[in-house]
Amino acid sequence: MKHVIVIGGGVAGMQCASELLRQGLAVTIIEKEQDLGGKVRNWHKLFPTFTPADEVLSAMRHRLKISNNLKIRTGCQATTITANSVTLCSGEELKCDATVIATGFTLFDAQIKEEYGYGIYDNVITSAELEQMFNENNVHLAHGGTPKRIAILHCVGSRDEKVCQRHCSKVCCVTGVKQAIELKKLFPAADVFNFYMDIRMFGPGYEEMYREAQTAYNVHFVRGRISEVSPTFNSQLQIKAEDTLTGRPLKMSVDMLVLLIGMKSNEHNITLRNECNLLAQPSGFMQPQDSFIGNVTSNVDGIFYAGTITAPKNVGESINEGTAAARAVIEWLNKH
């Protein structure tokens, strides 16, 4: 029986493994964390349908039925990868007939954008931390109390030459709209302001969500970028921005600032590029063989990609790539 190693047990890797098992192959999933699910384990409700992330992951775990043909190695990091072997950080080498890399993305470190005061001032949080607060049903200010004015800043660590992240992270505009709606559901009297450069609502139902945020929830959208954040004497945050539609400078005090952090490529991709001869894009994401008909195939025979290892994507797209990668592996194995 042919054996495939899937590296990364996020939604893309889980879906790829399910499909390979369904087609009668033996699969080993290597996951560096203690549990499968990847970043989605940390999210609350998924755009655009507000489906609980837990529900999606339970369905995926159910699909990944335990069988003798499946091995799951959690708490294991893959270090060196070839088409026929994967070396773990323990030094153990596993043999296989093909490899799928589904190691996902890394969240941008908001501390790098010092001007927004993350890690310096209270109540400056990231979108990932807000998801955690939603999950714990505990959205609050640092010293207790609920926020009455909230700003959400788009493009933090994306589309930003200064931090070498020129790409658009694709999912953060819609995440910002979803989080604004969730905040308004929790605090109907609060004012929520989204500061954006452009609103990029690329998926089905996204534009409708954006309109609903304005018409049904009265979320305010300001076209402009915050240049500076400082604390006020009464524990608020003063933000300075330019409204790029009117060309006027703008000053505003808020209780909470949410930074929509971008999706950046993994540091590990550099090793893949240097040691495994895999090609990477200027953004650091891995380079698929072709953008149209070979988007889950790498430039090295027998190594495949699934999910956000090659670019920012939403959950649906990452899952679909899991299926596509499994099919590409099977087609390739049938020829070899």
Ligand X SMILES: Cc1cc2nc3c(=O)[nH]c(=O)nc-3n(C[C@H](O)[C@H](O)[C@H](O)COP(=O)(O)OP(=O)(O)OC[C@H]3O[C@@H](n4cnc5c(N)ncnc54)[C@H](O)[C@@H]3O)c2cc1C
Give me the residues that bind ligand X (CB under 6 A), please. 7-13, 30-33, 38-40, 43, 46-47, 77-78, 102-105, 107, 127-128, 131, 171, 175, 263, 268, 307-308, 313-316, 318
Quickly count: other Cβ atoms within 10 Å of residue 327's Cβ: 15
- Cα 271 to Cα 284: distance, rounded to the nearest angstrom: 11
Residue nearer to ligand X on the CB measure, 77 or 235: 77
Instruction: Decide which of ligand X, ligand SF4, none touches 200; Cβ closer than 5 to 8 Å per partner kind.
Output: ligand SF4
Asked if 60 contacts 11 with a C-beta cutoff of 8 angstroms, the reply is yes
**Residue 38 binding ligand SF4, by CB under 6 A:** no
Instruction: Decide which of ligand X, ligand SF4, none touches 303; Cβ closer than 5 to 8 Å per partner kind.
Output: none
Tokens 């005090």 correspond to 253
CA distances from 203 to 115, 128, 276 (A): 31, 21, 34
Task: Report, in Å, the least distance between residue 53 CB and ligand SF4.
Answer: 19
Residue nearer to ligand SF4 on the CB measure, 40 or 259: 259
Task: Report, in Å, the least distance between residue 80 CB and ligand X.
Answer: 10
Residue nearer to ligand SF4 on the CB measure, 92 or 198: 198
Give the CA angle between residues 311, 317, 14 to the nearest 5°: 95
CB-facing half-sphere around the CA of 42: CA atoms within 13 A: 12
Residue type, 51: T
Instruction: Decide which of ligand SF4, ligand X, none touches 276; Cβ closer than 5 to 8 Å per partner kind.
Output: none
Q: What track of x and - describes contact with ligand SF4 for positions 131 through 160 (by CB under 6 A)? A: -----------------------xx--xx-
Instruction: Decide which of ligand X, ligand SF4, none touches 184; Cβ closer than 5 to 8 Å per partner kind.
Output: none
Burial of residue 333 (number of CB atoms within 10 Å: 0-12, 13-18, 19+)? middle
Task: Report, in Å, the least distance between residue 110 CB and ligand SF4.
Answer: 13
- Residues whose CB is less than 8 angstroms from the CB of residue 119 and which lie 6 or more positions away in sequence, other chains included: 110, 111
Instruction: Decide which of ligand X, ligand SF4, none touches 155; Cβ closer than 5 to 8 Å per partner kind.
Output: ligand SF4
Number of H helices and number of E strands within the chain? 7, 19
Task: Report, in Å, the least distance between residue 169 CB and ligand SF4.
Answer: 4
Instruction: Decide which of ligand SF4, ligand X, none touches 73; Cβ closer than 5 to 8 Å per partner kind.
Output: none
Instruction: Decide which of ligand SF4, ligand X, none touches 57; Cβ closer than 5 to 8 Å per partner kind.
Output: none
Residue nearer to ligand X on the CB measure, 13 or 224: 13
**How would you write 154-179 as a 3-class SS string?**
EEECCCEHHHCECCCCCCHHHHHHHH
Task: Report, in Å, the least distance between residue 212 CB and ligand SF4.
Answer: 18
What tokens does 13 get? Answer: 């890797």
Classify 37 in phi/psi space as left (phi over 0), alpha (psi -120 to 50) or beta.
left
Contact pick of 98, 180, 260, 330 for ligand SF4 (by CB under 6 A): 260
